[in-house]
A = this chain, B = another copy of it.
Amino acid sequence: MSFVLALSGGVGGAKLALGLSRVLPDEDLRVVANTGDDFEHLGLTICPDIDTLTYALAGVDNPATGWGRRDETWNFMAALAEIGGETWFRLGDRDLATHVERTRRLRAGETLSAITDDHRRRLGIAARILPMSDDPVRTRVRTEEQGWLDFQDYFVRRQAGPTVRALDFAGAATARPHPEFLAALADPALRSVVICPSNPFISIGPILAVPGVRDALAACRAPVVAVSPIIGGAAVKGPTAKMFAELGLGAPTASGVAAHYGDLLDGYVMDAVDAGEATRIRGPRVALAQTLMKTLDDREALARMVLEFADSLRG
């Protein structure tokens, strides 16, 4: 039985992961989640990308926000504000159960992997969701205006406003990759690796920064295909486009993302509107598709296309 391994951040990545989960047979998908966005807040360990993936794959995600749960209420936040608690990071009443229970279990000595896996099974998800590491990795950004900031301080509290000059994935150098992550990359049953259309710097970057991951991807015999998060020079969501210039990488382009991944890629999928850039991409084979995923059909269609394209690259 073959399986597909996807690398994903939050919103955009979770859309394609959902598409993959719907077009692949049950249990044929494993998704490695970025944990660089994780942080401690109100005494709780919050893992935004794991949660966005879990909620999306379980069909309980909030389609309006892209994060959190659908049919959500906000009475916890309202009451927290009354007693002077911090409210810049909004936690819905349903969503909060995930953080409280995860934190309790982590304190009791369970691993993030084990908790994540138990939660996804209880929510009826067939795909595996693998935290990139059980060791804490915490993304920090060096900003022009405020110096080094914790990621969520930059991303949520300051709404990605400050100018980012550098990134650091604290803890990454000594983090051990999820054991099943490297094993999957070396597994002959691996059909393809899909790098989801997530921010290459802050969503995929931390995954690639875990020791051993780049080498294992390079050594991997299955095709590695990335999907561009940039469409027509803009990101669908988040600060991806803005970060290009801030990090000195020039204008945000689909070809720029391919160049950033360099020789990790065997294939690269970008939107048809960016067809003109195809000739600028050195290395990976390029395929064009409709990469904007508005509907569930869009997610499934892109997932099918990416899988077929990857299959066509098998040596």
A: which residues have CB within 8 A of B? 42-44, 69, 71-73, 75-80, 82-85, 92-98, 100-101, 103-104, 107, 118-119, 122-123
> Contact at B73–A85, with CB atoms within 8 Å?
no
> Contact at B85–A43, with CB atoms within 8 Å?
no
> Contact at B85–A101, with CB atoms within 8 Å?
yes
In the complex, which of the residues A42, A75, A85, A98 has the most CB atoms of chain B within 10 Å of its own CB atom? A75
> Contact at B43–A122, with CB atoms within 8 Å?
no
Residues on B with beta carbons closer than 8 Å to the beta carbon of A101: 42, 80, 83-85
> Contact at A94–B72, with CB atoms within 8 Å?
no
Residues on B with beta carbons closer than 8 Å to the beta carbon of A79: 69, 93-98
Integer count of this chain's copies in the complex: 2
The one of B72, B73, B83, B104 that contacts A97, using a Cβ cutoff of 8 Å: B83
Asked whether A43 and B103 contact (CB < 8 A) given A75-B72, A76-B76, the answer is yes
Q: CA of A72 to CA of B122 in the docked complex: distance in angstroms?
A: 26
> Contact at B72–A85, with CB atoms within 8 Å?
no
Asked whether A98 and B119 contact (CB < 8 A) given A75-B72, A103-B43, A104-B43, the answer is no
Q: 9 extra interchain contacts, Cβ-Cβ under 8 A, other than A43-B100, A73-B75, A100-B100?
A: A42-B104, A73-B93, A76-B100, A78-B97, A79-B95, A82-B97, A83-B101, A83-B122, A84-B101
Q: CA of A263 to CA of B44 in the docked complex: distance in angstroms?
A: 48
> Contact at B85–A100, with CB atoms within 8 Å?
yes
CB distance from A283 to the nearest CB of B (A): 43
The one of B69, B72, B82, B100 that contacts A44, using a Cβ cutoff of 8 Å: B100
The one of B73, B84, B118, B123 that contacts A73, using a Cβ cutoff of 8 Å: B73
Q: CA of A213 to CA of B42 in the docked complex: distance in angstroms?
A: 35
Residues on B with beta carbons closer than 8 Å to the beta carbon of A82: 97, 122-123
With both beta carbons as reference points, the residue of chain B lying nearest to A54 in the complex is identified as B83
CB distance from A74 to the nearest CB of B (A): 8
> Contact at A97–B84, with CB atoms within 8 Å?
no
The one of B43, B94, B122 that contacts A78, using a Cβ cutoff of 8 Å: B94
Q: What are 19 A-B pairs with beta-carbon distances under 8 A?
A: A43-B103, A43-B107, A69-B79, A71-B75, A73-B73, A75-B75, A75-B94, A76-B93, A76-B97, A76-B100, A78-B97, A79-B93, A79-B97, A80-B97, A80-B100, A84-B118, A85-B100, A85-B101, A93-B96
Residues on B with beta carbons closer than 8 Å to the beta carbon of A97: 76-80, 82-83, 85
Residues on B with beta carbons closer than 8 Å to the beta carbon of A73: 73, 75, 93
Residues on B with beta carbons closer than 8 Å to the beta carbon of A42: 100-101, 104
With both beta carbons as reference points, the residue of chain B lying nearest to A102 in the complex is identified as B83
> Contact at B75–A122, with CB atoms within 8 Å?
no
Residues on B with beta carbons closer than 8 Å to the beta carbon of A96: 76, 79, 93, 96
Enumerate the 9 nearest inter-chain pairs by beta-carbon distance, A residue then B residue, closest first: A79-B97, A93-B93, A79-B94, A80-B97, A75-B93, A43-B104, A85-B101, A75-B94, A76-B93
